[in-house]
Each structure stands twice: as structure tokens, then as C-alpha cells.
Amino acid sequence: MSIDSTWLRCPNCFHDLEAITERVLGCDSGHRFDVAKHEIVTLLPPRAPRTVGDDRAMLDARAALLASGAYAPIAAAIVAAARQHAVRRPSRSDDGGDDDKVAGSSDDLRIVDLGCGTGYYAGALAAELTGASVLLADRSPTAVRLATRAVPRATGVVLDLWRPLPVRDGTADVAINVFAPRNAPEFARIVRAAGILIVVVPSAAHFTELRRLGATLDVPEGKADRVTEQFSAAGFDLRQTTRVEYLLDTDAELRVQLVDMGPAAHHRANAADDAADPSPIDAQLTVTVSVDVVVFERGSTAGAD
């Protein structure tokens, strides 16, 4: 079984999950969960909404775009923040844990990608911080399957980010949340004291050129400030905000990928919109990519009952 149950708790009763058999996880209350043939497990709470997350078309668009290197500067900023934390973090034994690994080593580092998508950013972290344990979490089963291919030996879980997470308290050293739903109280609960949360949100300048053409949704001013308020209220301390902004030369195909990988794809009104590119098919267009990479540290009392 590729599932590392030390990450997980039951979505029904919140007791720890353990391996019952080679293909089944369970808790001491008797709840059981099958590990799928793709080596992922679905841990949804009772009466979970029938949403499925990003569909295959959105994920394929995202995978193609990310494979082109278009968002490599964003991945690099995430890796830099996580690497800085790995160097300065205390060992787990320093905060009451039973791990005697040397501080600064990535061998005992635990990374969770909350809204993992295709696994691109978690894969970049795993490549840099070798030896780390990785949890990939998303509402879309297709996304989790793709992500586990991108990050071998990672644990893949289908869950609902809006609900209490089936993840144990204080189990993550580094959590990342990239263009994904944010559940501040639950993120505070699963990140250990002095652990970090890296949140990536678009700035008001993101995709300015595409918005002028009506191809994508507006981004309100001050989004990073609102995210900071949200997580500060949950007990996180702001450590730094880094603006990653650059110009991306695009053709019609890349522009379609930029639009279809994000929430604007959900707002297509009809089939004609799906095929529409607001500029001539062979035209080149320079598009602004602009995001804020916000790094928080979890305070010692965050997430406490």
C-alpha cells in the first residue's frame, strides 16, 4: 500500500486511520475505506456535496501549460520559501515529537498540497526537498491520480477542502495552497506549531490583457491582504509576501490553456465560447502573469480547541 496512514484521520469520527488490510484503511470506530487501484483513497465526510472538482479538460489544459514552463517562476518562489523553512525549522523532538532527525534535514519534512491539481508544485518541492513525505489532496479524483503520478511515493487523498479535513492535527511542516479553496481554521489545525503555509493568489494585474478582451474573470484589488486577514484570524503569522510578476508571450493555443485551466472555464456560456479566442488565431499576445506568494507561520496556539 502506498498510502501513509500517519497523515490521516477518519472523516466520520476523526479518529486516526490505520492500515487494516493491504487495501483497506480503518479507524477504531469501525469505519472502513478502500484504497483504489490507483493507490489513492477517498475520505469524504457523510453527506458530502456531489461536486467533483476540476474536470479532465481543465486538468489537461493545466498540465499542458505547466509542462511548457509558463509558471516555473511561481514554482521557484514556492520552493525557495519551503527550502528556507527546512533550513531553519526545529527538529520534531524540539517541539515534543519523538523524531530525532537533525534540524534542517528534509528527511523528516512533511509537505501537504491542499488543492494539488496535477501535482506540479508538489513535484517541484519533492524534487528539491528529497526525502520529504508528501500528501496530495484534492476534491477531484482525476487530479489526485495525475498528481500521484507526478510525485511518486506520495499519499493521494480525495477530500473536500471546505469540510473538516481527514488529516491529523499538527502533522504538516509545510502546507501549500495554490489557486485553490482556503479553509483557514482547518489549515491551522493540520500545520504544526512553527510550520509554514504558502498561499498563492493572483494579483489585480494577473491576466490583464486577457481580461481586457473579456476572456477571463476579474481579480479584485487587495486579494493578498484579504487572505492575510483570513489566516491571521486563524492564528497564522504573516512572514513575507512576494510578488511574482512577468510577461508571457502567448499564441492562441497557450491563451486557451491559460483560460481553461482556471475558474473562467466554469463560466463558459455555450459551445461557441469554448472555441473563442478574442484575438486572431495566429496573433501573438503578451500576457501579464502576476501573483502574490504569501508565507505564513503557524503560531503556537493556532488551531487549538
The model's pLDDT over 31-69, given as tens digits with 9 standing for 90+, comes to 999 999 889 999 998 877 666 677 888 898 899 999 999
Backbone angles phi, psi at 242, to 5 degrees: -120, 125
pLDDT score recorded for residue 105: 56
* pLDDT at residue 270 greater than cutoff 60: no
Distances, alpha carbon 197 to alpha carbons 34, 116, 301, in Å: 30, 14, 15
Q: What DSSP letter does each residue of 170-192 carry, written as one string? A: T-EEEEEEESS---HHHHHHHEE
* Phi, psi of 135, rounded to the nearest 5 degrees: -115, 125
Other C-beta atoms lying within 10 Å of the C-beta of residue 31: 15
* Mean pLDDT along residues 238-266: 86
Domain definitions of the chain by residue range: 5-298
Separation in Å, CA 165 to CA 158, 205, 258: 10, 33, 30
pLDDT band at 230 (very low <50, low <70, confident <90, very high): very high
Q: 5-298: which CATH number, 3.40.50.150, 3.30.70.890, 3.20.20.70, 3.40.50.300?
A: 3.40.50.150
**Confidence (pLDDT) at 145:** 95
**What pLDDT shows up at residue 215?**
78
Nearest CA-CA partner of 152 in 182, 130, 173, 167: 130
CA 288 to CA 106: how far, in whole Å? 34
- What is the reported pLDDT for 101? 45
DSSP H helix total and E strand total for the chain = 9, 11
Please list, residue by residue across 225-246, b when 16 or more beta carbons sit within 10 angstroms of its beta carbon and e when fewer do. eebbebbeebbbeeeebbebee
Decide: pTM greater than 0.85: yes
% residues pLDDT > 90 (the chain): 69
Q: Over 70: is that where the pLDDT of 116 sits?
A: yes
pLDDT tens-digit map of 272-285? 444 445 454 458 89
* DSSP, res 267: G
Q: Is the pLDDT of residue 262 over 80?
A: no
- Mean residue pLDDT of the chain comes to 87
Would the pLDDT of 267 be above 70? Answer: no
Q: Is 285 helix (H, G, I), strand (E, B) or coil?
A: strand
Q: How many Å apart are CA 264 and CA 292, to the nearest integer?
A: 19
Conformation bin of residue 104: beta by default, left when phi > 0, alpha when psi is -120 to 50: left
**What is the reported pLDDT for 305?**
42
Q: What is the band of 93 on the pLDDT scale with cuts at 50, 70, 90?
A: low
Nearest to 216 by CA among 178, 250, 242: 250
pLDDT at 126: 96
